Amino acid sequence: VSMELGARELLYRFDANREAPEQVRGALDGALDDVEGGARITVELLARTLVAACIRGDAGEVWLALEVGPERVRIEVSGEGAGFRLPLSPRTIDYFSFDDHAPQPIGWRSYLLDRLADEWGIDENAAVAWCELDHTASAAQRLQTKEQVLTS
């Protein structure tokens, strides 16, 4: 995937552990000031969601890459080590437990990705979970509309 003209890239590394999704919030604080407020919240939520979906233990690293263009943001999560595991399907993206034998809960991650991202997927060849969204005014309006659905 080639970068959008005028895009900038943000790269972060986190230890693969249960604190990583929360650390995404701090890492992105101030880094997305050029993105409209509603869309900025969406980008942060999607980044945290993808990071959480890829963590399965307390060993290894998780890498978060954001390509922020004039209209679109692409979020990619990859990693290595025993604590990182790429979800094998959209269904498994909902499952987050340090016990691989625990029953799978009803999923919110795929719901959030379906509702907030324009596109998302898992590239097994590149070992990357990714999503993209339009962060212009239409993305902010989409968040407000979908936020009302979530809180209703």
- pTM of the predicted model, to two decimals? 0.77
User: What is d(CA 142, CA 149) in angstroms, rounded to the nearest whole number?
Assistant: 11
**Across 24-28, 46-50, 135-139, least confident range:** 135-139
How many residues make up the chain in this entry? 152
Predicted pLDDT at 20? 95
- CA 114-68-131 angle, 5° bins: 20
pLDDT digits (tens, 9 = 90+) for 96-105: 455 555 544 4
